[in-house]
Amino acid sequence: MLGAHALCYVVKQNSSYESTVVRYVKSMTVVNLSFAAAGFLGAYHLGVTEALLRHGDKLLSALKACAGASAGALVATVMITAPDKLQHCKEFTYRFASNVRSQRFGAVTPGYDFMLELREGIEEILPPNAHQLANDRLHVSITHSKTYKNSMVSSFTSREDLIKVLLASCFVPVYAGVKPVEFQGQKWMDGGFTDSLPALPVGRTITVSPFSGPQDISPAHKGISKLHLRLANMSIVFSKDNIIRLNQALFPPSLPRLKALDQEGYQNAVHFLKKDGWMQ
């Protein structure tokens, strides 16, 4: 079998072989997808997912697993267990955001149960065998509520276990309630606090984030700032646009803005597929 140096030599010596070599390497590549913690900017992830499902056959054929934290974990779950429910996910996201916006104090309004509405949405979308489809192919980032240590969960004994792990990965104290989610006798909260963009150990992890930064698929940075911030394993550009995005993650923007995020994610993903050689 040709080694990496030999492949490079062939490409340099005869450029006519370049596309063949690229296809050969791609066919042997194992890839993972990781979706960053995003809150209501998960709309961006949904746009990315649509582009991958429409145009990323080559990438998906090499896909080993998906990972994520918070809203990113929800989208990773859809990618693995219910890609046919993508439009349903978009409709739920828009409805959920509208309901939060309609509350006087947003998600923290007394009497409003953020986690209950999220659970109902998850229940509607996941197929009966979701936990079986997710085993060893879905990696969900969660944070222990007392030790603040991260855990990656990739084994699910039941559909209910999967739902609990997803809820735990999305639980932001005070914002989403006062009681952390219990799973296997321990209490857990948002995985975005400790690992907001998980990288898997085997294969290449393609990273997706709705915040401008060095991730594989993310919005382009339009300013001149070169300063980066490290947020729980995710690097983002320190910019006005990202500060606005961080606010919108918890305080959902208008429906037109959510749809624009969806479209931006779609376009960014198509650009990545073309640039990285995953499209014909």
E strand segments, 107-252: 138-144, 150-153, 181-183, 186-190, 204-208, 228-231, 234-237
**DSSP-derived 3-state class of residue 59:** helix
Burial class (CB in 10 A: 0-12, 13-18, 19+), 265: buried
Question: Cβ contacts of residue 133 below 8 Å, gap of 6+?
Answer: 80, 81, 127
From 34, 145, 190, 209, active-site residue: 190
217 near 269, Cβ under 8 Å? yes
From 70, 151, 196, 212, active-site residue: 70
Between the CA of residue 32 and those of 145, 195, 253, what are the distances in Å? 28, 16, 30
Residue 190 among the catalytic residues: yes
Residue 209 among the catalytic residues: no
Question: Cβ contacts of residue 72 below 8 Å, gap of 6+?
Answer: 34, 35, 36, 37, 38, 42, 45, 192, 196, 197, 208
Cα–Cα–Cα angle for 189, 34, 279, rounded to 5 degrees: 160
| C-alpha span between 244 and 196 (Å, rounded) | 18
47 near 264, Cβ under 8 Å? yes
69 near 195, Cβ under 8 Å? yes
Question: Cβ contacts of residue 244 below 8 Å, gap of 6+?
Answer: none
| C-alpha span between 169 and 102 (Å, rounded) | 24
Active site residues: 70, 190
